[in-house]
Amino acid sequence: MEYNEIEEAGKLKVFYEGPTLDLLTIGRLQINLHRIIEHVAIVTLGENESVLDFLKFDHISITRKQFSTMWRRYPDFRRRGYPIFYPELYLNEDNFADAPIVRTTCHRAEVGSWEQELGFAIISTLSHPDIRAALQGLGGNILYAIMNSGLRGISAIKGCEPRSNDPSSNFDPFDVGPNVADIAKHLIAHGGSKAKKLTITHTRKDQESDEIEIKLS
């Protein structure tokens, strides 16, 4: 499956301050980050009218297997009541269930505590100007989603103000709260009182940046 880099979406830097991570904890962090990023990307596309129009008029026939896979993979779409014209419909039926719409590429990773720089790439069959335009704000949306996930201890260091200062508001616009909570839980379980924080910075193509922090102790 081929992917094209989305330079317009900028880069994410993820920095964990605490004891050196073991492989299992790194895996938990990476899997949950991937799920957050893909979920935010799918919802971002689903809420963009020009993208929906493009998919609506150019989509291929939906097989029963594709429809059931999509329904099982993104249960929140049922609650949100979105139309069923989604990028997954462009994928070959054989790899439909496994291929991510947006692939997160690791440009750099460093040991110590843990630091990595991530970029984004769109599946090549969806490399359309309207879709790329919608995803140029993906990095900012990821920070916004995490910031408003409902988890206590998240603060804006630069930009990305929360929609609500009330942690009990249960806003969670992208439904990523469980993934953010799982990241924090495993980092705390690994590092104990020495686990300090997880900082996520989004740097845009113009080099401007936003930053949020998840306190772990």
Ranges 8-17, 43-52, 54-63: which has the least confidence: 54-63
Q: How confident is the model at residue 46 (pLDDT cuts 50, 70, 90)?
A: confident
Q: How confident is the model at residue 128 (pLDDT cuts 50, 70, 90)?
A: confident
pLDDT tens by residue, 134-161 = 899 999 999 999 998 888 899 999 887 7
Q: How confident is the model at residue 91 (pLDDT cuts 50, 70, 90)?
A: very low
Secondary structure (3-state) at 166: coil
pLDDT tens by residue, 93-115 = 444 445 677 888 888 777 667 89
**pLDDT confidence of residue 129:** 84
Give yes or no for a contact between 40 and 34, defined as CB atoms under 8 angstroms apart. no
Residue 12: enclosing H or E segment and its boundaries? strand 11-17
Contacts of 21 (CB under 8 A, 6+ apart): 29, 113, 114, 187, 190
Give yes or no for a contact between 95 and 89, defined as CB atoms under 8 angstroms apart. no
CA gap 91, 63 in Å, rounded: 11
Q: Which residues share a beta bridge with 109? A: 116
**pLDDT confidence of residue 181:** 94
Tell me the percentage of the chain whose pLDDT exceeds 70: 70
**pLDDT confidence of residue 11:** 94
Q: How confident is the model at residue 123 (pLDDT cuts 50, 70, 90)?
A: confident
CA separation (Å) from 91 to 14, 172, 177? Answer: 30, 29, 28
- What's the whole-number average pLDDT of the chain? 77
pLDDT tens by residue, 6-15 = 999 999 999 9
List the structure tokens of 202.
């989004």
Backbone φ and ψ for 91, nearest 5 degrees, come out as -80, 150
**pLDDT confidence of residue 55:** 57
Query: Is 179 a residue whose pLDDT tops 70?
Result: yes
**pLDDT confidence of residue 39:** 84
List the structure tokens of 125.
């069959």
More confident residue, 40 or 84: 40
